[in-house]
């Protein structure tokens, strides 16, 4: 039998079902592995007795005859999901030590499925960032090269899964924070259609964009997790009122043209020319093109499409997201949550000092930008204009989906960069989000899967974008690719 940390979610679930291993054994093994790798900076909170109690409970449920792919599987949550027993910080000093009175819906649903919570994972402050360097609790290091960033904002989740410290982790994606760290660390992640996972208990950054999703080692593992995480929730007014979806069954289901000899016969993959600009790094382009060749061998056909407003998605996102953030972050006032300044003169001074001390530089920058673009006299010129363009970007996708079933391209213009390389230049970091922002603005599902290695032997991811609620199509295509290749099975040296 493989070592426990070498098993993905599906595999570990099968080993638990066959009684080859118990959840208590798996939990102990992974807690020890987490303790052995503090240098990655992934863990913000953990409670071993609690995790072991959950594991014992899962083992008892199995002994009583209960089955379930996730029953007894240990994982950890991005520290943006509130949890009742473990503290939640959202990577911010302003929430240091905060204990929520309730669990986020995603956390509760995974708990119902029997998942064991190993702890809470580092992330950029309020999920603002692309490198995990905006966390008040230190950066996360990429296990493929610890002098490089793991991507962000779900950097702790990505690094933990890539380093085989856990089979999977939850993440959130507002403008790329599941897809880009998955790409930078050689793992698989999916951001579903906006509304598929409940945002209840997910600390809000930009409410019209935020979505939860899994980071794992394969499309199959993502499908299993997404099935448990998703579904209508009356406590989130933007939750999609749809019947529960079995993403694993959808992943296995045949595409149009089934019966043909190739698994992906009939699948039309659209390549937006704007996703392959001259400035795209040659290593990324090479790995992505090679993967597209593999998709063709699997029966898919490639078609040229266009997303003409791709470049505009950067200014549009960096107006809308800060606008919503400035409003969402107003609740951190030193009264209701978290940090309050020790000394102040009056109420206004207390707000000012608490917020000045509690928020980091990027959160402050976004609060200022957001307040500016929403203020009287600028609202029409910036915010309203951005909203109109957002609609046009979404319409551009619908024009593409008349020609193709999924859209493919790179996740990011380069492989993971060196720690510190962009930390003094926020705009450089914003520009690197160019390929993930369009799907976020449109509310479409997107996933990242590893397809090779580039500069300095760093992983390269391929992005697949589907139409609304077509997660099954993405997972099916990614699963077929992963059955034919082994990029997703590669682990960084030493892990
Ligand atoms: N990098 C983007 C930002 O900084 C996206 C972050 C995210 O998806 N949470 O806003």
Rounded distance from Cα 94 to ligand 1 centre (Å): 19
Ligand 1 atom nearest to CA at 124 = 9
CA distance 51 to 75: 10
The confidence score (pLDDT) of residue 191 equals 98
Q: Write the CB contacts of 480 (distance below 8 Å, at least 6 apart in sequence).
A: 263, 264, 298
Tell me, yes or no, if 207 is annotated catalytic: no
Pocket of ligand 1 (CB under 6 A): 127-130, 153, 173-177, 205, 321, 433
Nearest CA-CA partner of 297 in 482, 490, 481: 481
CA distance 380 to 373: 9
CA distances in angstroms from 337 to 79, 202, 373, listed in the order given: 16, 15, 26
Give exposure, 187-207, as e/b (b: 16+ Cβ within 10 Å). Answer: bbbbbbbbbbbbbbbbbbbbb
Q: 7-495 has which fold? A: Amidase signature (AS) enzymes (3.90.1300)
> What are the residue ranges of helices labelled H in 214-344?
219-229, 247-252, 282-297, 313-328
Ligand 1 pocket test target in 78, 79, 124, 199 with most atoms within 8 Å of CB: 124
**Out of 78, 191, 353, 422, which one is annotated catalytic?**
78
Ligand 1 pocket test target in 81, 130, 189, 430 with most atoms within 8 Å of CB: 130
Tell me, yes or no, if 92 is annotated catalytic: no
Tell me, yes or no, if 153 is annotated catalytic: yes
The confidence score (pLDDT) of residue 396 equals 98
pLDDT in tens, 137-180: 999 999 999 999 999 999 999 999 999 999 999 999 999 999 99
Q: Give the start-to-end residue ranges of the domains of the chain.
A: 7-495
Nearest CA-CA partner of 201 in 247, 168, 175, 239: 239
Rounded distance from Cα 255 to ligand 1 centre (Å): 33
Ligand 1 pocket test target in 78, 125, 128 with most atoms within 8 Å of CB: 128
pLDDT in tens, 240-271: 999 999 999 999 986 555 566 789 999 999 99
The mean pLDDT values, 10 residues at a time, for the chain of 495 residues are 95 98 98 98 98 98 97 98 97 96 98 98 98 98 98 98 98 98 98 98 98 98 98 98 94 68 93 96 98 98 98 98 98 93 97 97 98 95 97 98 98 98 94 98 98 98 98 97 98 97
Tell whether the torsion through CA atoms of 284, 286, 287 and 288 is positive or negative.
positive
Rounded distance from Cα 180 to ligand 1 centre (Å): 9
Residue matched to tokens 């999901």: 81
Ligand 1 atom nearest to CA at 129 = 4
Backbone angles phi, psi at 191, to 5 degrees: -105, 115
Q: Could you tell me the pTM of the whole model?
A: 0.97
Nearest CA to ligand 1 atom 4: 129
């Amino acid at each position: 039998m493989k070592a426990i940390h070498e098993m993905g979610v599906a595999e570990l679930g099968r080993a638990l079902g066959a009684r080859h291993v118990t959840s208590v054994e798996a939990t102990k093994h992974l807690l020890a592995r987490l303790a052995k790798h503090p240098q990655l900076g992934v863990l913000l909170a953990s409670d071993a007795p609690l995790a072991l109690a959950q594991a014992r409970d899962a083992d008892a449920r199995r002994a009583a005859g209960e089955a379930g792919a996730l029953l007894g599987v240990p994982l950890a949550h991005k520290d943006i999901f509130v949890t009742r027993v473990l503290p939640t910080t959202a990577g911010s000093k302003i929430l240091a030590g905060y204990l929520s009175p309730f669990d986020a819906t995603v956390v509760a649903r995974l708990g119902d499925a029997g998942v064991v919570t190993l702890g809470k994972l580092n992330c950029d402050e309020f999920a603002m960032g692309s490198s995990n360097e905006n966390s008040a609790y230190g950066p996360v290091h990429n296990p493929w090269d610890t002098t490089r960033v793991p991507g962000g904002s779900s950097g702790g989740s990505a690094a933990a899964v890539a380093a085989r410290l856990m089979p999977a982790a939850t993440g959130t994606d507002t403008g790329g924070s599941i897809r880009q760290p998955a790409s930078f660390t050689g793992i698989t992640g999916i951001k579903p259609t906006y509304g598929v996972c409940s945002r209840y208990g997910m600390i809000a950054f930009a409410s019209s964009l935020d979505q939860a999703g899994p980071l794992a080692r394969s499309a199959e593992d993502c499908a299993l997790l997404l099935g448990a995480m998703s579904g209508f929730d009356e406590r989130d007014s933007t939750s999609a009122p749809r019947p529960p979806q079995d993403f694993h069954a959808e992943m296995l289901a045949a595409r149009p043209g089934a019966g043909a000899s190739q698994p992906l016969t009939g699948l039309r993959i659209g390549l937006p020319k704007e996703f392959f600009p001259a400035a795209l790094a040659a290593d990324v382009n090479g790995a992505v093109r090679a993967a597209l060749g593999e998709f063709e061998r699997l029966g898919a056909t490639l078609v040229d499409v266009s997303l003409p407003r791709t470049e505009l998605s950067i200014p549009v996102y960096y107006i809308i997201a800060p606008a919503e953030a400035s409003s969402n972050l107003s609740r951190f006032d030193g009264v209701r949550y978290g940090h309050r300044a020790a000394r102040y003169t009056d109420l206004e001074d207390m707000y000012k000092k608490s917020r000045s001390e509690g928020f980091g530089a990027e959160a402050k920058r976004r609060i200022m930008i957001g307040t500016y673009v929403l203020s009287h006299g600028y609202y029409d010129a910036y915010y309203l204009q951005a909203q109109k363009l957002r609609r046009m970007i979404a319409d551009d996708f619908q024009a593409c989906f008349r020609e193709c079933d999924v859209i493919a391209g790179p996740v990011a213009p380069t492989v993971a960069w060196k720690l510190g390389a962009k930390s003094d230049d926020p705009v450089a970091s914003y520009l690197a989000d160019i390929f993930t922002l369009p799907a976020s603005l449109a509310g479409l599902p997107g996933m990242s899967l590893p397809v090779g290695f580039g500069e300095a032997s760093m992983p390269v991811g391929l992005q697949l974008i589907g139409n609304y609620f077509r997660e099954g199509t993405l997972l099916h295509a990614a699963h077929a690719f992963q059955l034919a290749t082994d990029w997703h099975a590669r682990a960084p040296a030493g892990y």
